[in-house]
């Protein structure tokens, strides 16, 4: 189907159709109005003729032949056909025809209507004259009784000829109006289409990337305002694109300066962006449109990618790849469904950390034996009455402290070195009961109420029974150590989400809020003098943290100064 694309043609053709429709309606209604008005005018003229003939009919009503002769004379003078019809429909006089040869007119519409309204009108075909005619009839009354009908008529051909002559003049005038209107429409369409065409061409150039294009229109109307707005818009776009290009260069420089391996994967699994370090490590020239699986074949990385793609969440995890250790960070972008990946090489850091751990482990092991010997000799000296026992007691106390520190360091080193523990099914109530018994005497010596609440159900988890016992001993021992009066309580219960909750709470000295996020650091103590006095090493909670990590458990700590502390642990229940 043909489509008009030019706005000039659309405007011009629209005006053409509008003018044609308006002119058509005008001519149609003009013709009908003139025709109806002309018929009404002739009807009134014929009525007047009929009323004028009443005196003639009155004079010759009883002499039909004389009446017919008189009617023919009047008809020749007026060019109007006159017919006199008796009440019974018999024609007794006609100006153009012999009344004896005419049929009965009783049922003629104009006569029937005149009986009801005094006058009647009809436009119909005359069989006598073989032409369409306008008939107007009135009743002739004597003593208020209808005696006859006086009817006059005109040929419609004569009326139409007159009307058509008048209509031709109107039509010629209408044609002239149409011509001038179309000329005006042409000029108007050109005036409208030129600035639009110029703006369209300029917009196409902007779409091609030419932001220096300008549109100048010598107009103060809306088109002039639109052109000025267009020019301002192109200037703004030009500036914004310059800023975007500059920012893009900066962003590219930042991405390339990142030491980590950076890459972006789209929702089709293709790497759409990566930095030089990523390309260099995986020995590729360009990662664009290459599949993630083509470049990275490490099973652990593929598993992480599939997991984040399925769960649409963020993920951070350490993996081994090509004899290196990487910290992998994958972030899911919901708006674009992209995945941003960052690989941080931890190999050197892990090596240094291993050296440090080995050093601590070896030093602790080497210190343990001589310190044990010192303790043995000090105990021997204490049994000799000739020595000052106070000095020997101090030696023993500090030796005990050093041995405890070494033991805790050995335990901590072992936990850090051996990340994979041998897990077995453990009923949590067993290590809790053992820890409770070990700490009970110490609590009673301080006058504290040590209590437990265990439902008696089997809370089975997978873990190391000895390490779990050490976990609860450390927490209960800490609670007793830093509680001067009141109580220490441990409880356990099963949650609805297949987890077991263990709570250790006390009414002790509490921990200030500013220290809560550091209490699991090695050798970190809130009050060093108090800790030393209590015999603390600053390693107990670090050991707790590592044991929890080995068991995939979580801990929450709540504490208020001089109110007490509450440790809440969540274990995943294994059936």
Structural tokens at position 400? 């005990």
Q: What does 152-182 look like in DSSP terms, one character per residue?
A: EEEEHHHHHHHHHHHHHHHHHHHHHHHHHHH
Going by DSSP bridges, is the β-strand pair 487-494/449-453 parallel, antiparallel, or unpaired? parallel
Is 349-415 in the same CATH topology as 258-345? no
pLDDT of residue 531: 47
Percentages (nearest 5) of helix, strand, coil residues in the chain: 55, 20, 25
Q: Which CATH architecture has domain 258-345?
A: 2-Layer Sandwich (3.30)
Q: Which CATH number fits domain 421-572: 3.30.70.1140, 3.30.420.40, 3.30.565.10, 2.40.110.10?
A: 3.30.565.10
Confidence of residue 394 (pLDDT cuts 50, 70, 90): low
Structural tokens at position 548? 């929890």
With a CB cutoff of 8 Å and minimum separation 6, the contacts of 167 are 27, 30, 31, 34
User: What would the pLDDT profile of 270-318 be if each residue is shown by its tens digit?
Assistant: 888 888 888 888 888 765 567 888 888 888 888 888 888 888 888 888 8
pLDDT of residue 1: 42
Global model pTM greater than 0.85: no
More confident residue, 516 or 429: 429
Radius of gyration of the CA atoms of the chain, in A: 58
Flag whether pLDDT at 234 surpasses 60: yes
Residues of the chain with pLDDT > 90, as a percent, come to 5
Domain 349-415 carries which CATH code? 1.10.287.130
Report CA torsion sign: 439, 445, 448, 452: positive
User: Residues 61, 67: contact at Cβ < 8 Å?
Assistant: yes
Average pLDDT of the segment spanning 158-182:
74
Helix axes 465-481, 429-445, angle to 10 degrees: 30
Instruction: Return the top range by mean pLDDT from 20-34, 325-339, 381-395, 511-525.
Output: 325-339
Confidence of residue 529 (pLDDT cuts 50, 70, 90): very low
Average pLDDT of the segment spanning 105-125:
85
Average pLDDT of the segment spanning 343-351:
83
User: Residues 71, 84: contact at Cβ < 8 Å?
Assistant: yes
With a CB cutoff of 8 Å and minimum separation 6, the contacts of 361 are 409, 410, 413, 414, 417
pLDDT of residue 308: 83
Structural tokens at position 335? 């708006």
- When the pLDDT of each residue in the chain is averaged and rounded to a whole number, the result is 79
pLDDT of residue 189: 67
User: What would the pLDDT profile of 463-503 be if each residue is shown by its tens digit?
Assistant: 888 889 989 998 999 889 889 899 999 999 888 778 899 99
Confidence of residue 343 (pLDDT cuts 50, 70, 90): confident
User: What would the pLDDT profile of 241-253 be if each residue is shown by its tens digit?
Assistant: 888 888 888 877 8
Domain boundaries, the chain: 40-162, 258-345, 349-415, 421-572
Q: Which CATH number fits domain 40-162: 3.30.450.20, 3.40.50.11060, 3.40.50.2300, 3.40.50.300?
A: 3.30.450.20
Looking at residue 513, the DSSP 8-state letter turns out to be G
List of long-range contacts for 131-136, beta carbons under 8 Å, 24+ apart: 131/155, 131/156, 131/157, 132/156, 132/157, 133/81, 134/39, 134/42, 134/43, 134/46, 134/159, 135/108, 135/110, 136/43, 136/46, 136/47, 136/50, 136/110
Average pLDDT of the segment spanning 203-232:
75
Confidence of residue 541 (pLDDT cuts 50, 70, 90): confident
User: What would the pLDDT profile of 411-437 be if each residue is shown by its tens digit?
Assistant: 766 766 666 677 888 888 899 999 999
pLDDT of residue 524: 61
């Amino acid at each position: 189907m043909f489509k008009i694309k030019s706005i000039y043609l659309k405007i011009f053709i629209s005006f053409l159709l509008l003018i044609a429709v308006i002119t058509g309606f005008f001519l149609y209604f003009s013709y009908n109005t003139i025709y109806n008005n002309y018929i009404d005018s002739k009807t009134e003229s014929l009525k007047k003729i009929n009323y004028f003939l009443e005196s003639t009919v009155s004079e010759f009503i009883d002499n039909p032949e004389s009446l017919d002769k008189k009617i023919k004379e009047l008809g020749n003078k007026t060019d109007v056909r006159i017919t006199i019809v008796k009440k019974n429909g018999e024609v007794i006089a006609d100006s153009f025809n012999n009344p004896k040869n005419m049929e009965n007119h009783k049922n003629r519409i104009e006569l029937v209507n005149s009986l009801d309204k005094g006058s009647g009108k009809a436009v119909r075909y005359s069989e006598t004259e073989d032409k369409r005619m306008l008939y107007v009839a009135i009743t002739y009354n004597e003593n208020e009784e209808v005696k006859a009908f006086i009817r006059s008529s005109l040929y419609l051909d004569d009326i139409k000829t007159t009307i058509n002559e008048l209509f031709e003049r109107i039509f010629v005038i209408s044609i002239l109006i149409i011509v001038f209107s179309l000329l005006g429409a042409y000029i108007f369409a050109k005036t409208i289409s030129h600035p639009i065409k110029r703006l369209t061409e300029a917009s196409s150039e902007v779409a091609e990337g030419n932001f220096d294009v300008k549109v100048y229109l010598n107009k103060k109307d809306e088109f002039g305002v639109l052109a000025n707005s267009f020019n301002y818009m192109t200037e703004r776009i030009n500036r914004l694109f310059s800023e975007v290009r500059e920012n893009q260069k900066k962003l590219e420089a930042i991405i390339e300066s990142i030491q980590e391996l950076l890459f972006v994967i789209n929702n089709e699994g293709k790497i759409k962006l990566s930095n030089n370090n990523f390309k260099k490590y995986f020995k590729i020239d360009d990662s664009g449109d290459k599949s993630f699986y083509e470049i990275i074949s490490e099973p652990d990385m593929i598993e992480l990618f599939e997991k984040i793609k399925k769960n649409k969440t963020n993920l951070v995890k350490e993996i081994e790849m090509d004899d290196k250790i990487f910290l992998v960070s994958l972030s899911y972008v919901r708006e674009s469904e992209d995945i941003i990946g960052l690989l941080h090489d931890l190999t050197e850091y892990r090596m240094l950390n291993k050296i440090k751990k080995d050093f601590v482990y070896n030093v602790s092991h080497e210190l343990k034996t001589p310190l044990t010997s010192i303790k043995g000799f000090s105990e021997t000296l204490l049994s000799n009455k000739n020595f000052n026992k106070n000095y020997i007691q101090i030696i023993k106390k500090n030796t005990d402290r050093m041995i405890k520190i070494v033991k805790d360091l050995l335990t901590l080193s072992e936990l850090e070195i051996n990340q994979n523990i041998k897990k077995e099914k453990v009923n949590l109530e067993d290590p809790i009961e053992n820890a409770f018994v070990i700490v009970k005497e110490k609590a009673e010596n301080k006058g504290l109420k040590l209590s437990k609440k265990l439902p008696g159900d089997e809370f089975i988890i997978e873990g190391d029974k000895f390490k779990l016992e050490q976990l609860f001993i450390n927490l209960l021992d800490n609670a007793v150590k830093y509680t001067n009066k009141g109580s220490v309580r441990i409880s356990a219960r099963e949650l609805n989400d297949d987890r077991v909750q263990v709570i250790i709470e006390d009414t002790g000295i509490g921990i200030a809020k500013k220290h809560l996020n550091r209490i699991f650091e090695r050798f970190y103590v809130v009050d060093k003098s108090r800790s030393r006095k209590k015999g603390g090493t600053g390693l107990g909670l670090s050991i707790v943290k590592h044991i929890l990590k080995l068991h995939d458990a979580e801990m929450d700590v709540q504490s208020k100064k001089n109110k007490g502390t509450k440790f809440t642990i969540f274990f995943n229940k294994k059936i």
